[in-house]
Amino acid sequence: MCLACRQRAPKAELTRLVARDGRYEVDPTGRAQTRGAYSHPGCLEKSLCRPVRRRGPASPTV
């Protein structure tokens, strides 16, 4: 699922992201052991602006 637009897509069509220091970064290896997410290449800019979700009460997003 794409982090930015929340639409499903095959992993092959998505870019893998890793959570690091509260932000997502592109994971060029696709094998990082940290929490990950996926994004369409075209949605990367929006995805990288998103804070990493944490467990607990979800903050409302506009």
Binding site for Zn ion (CB under 5 A): 2, 4-5, 40, 43
Q: Which is nearer to Zn ion, 13 or 54 (CB)?
A: 13
Q: Which is nearer to Zn ion, 32 or 46 (CB)?
A: 46
Q: Which is nearer to Zn ion, 5 or 32 (CB)?
A: 5
Three-state SS at 50:
coil
- Considering the complex, what minimum distance in angstroms separates the CB of residue 3 from Zn ion? 7
DSSP 10-40: -GGGSEEEEEETTEEEE-SSS--SS-EEEE-
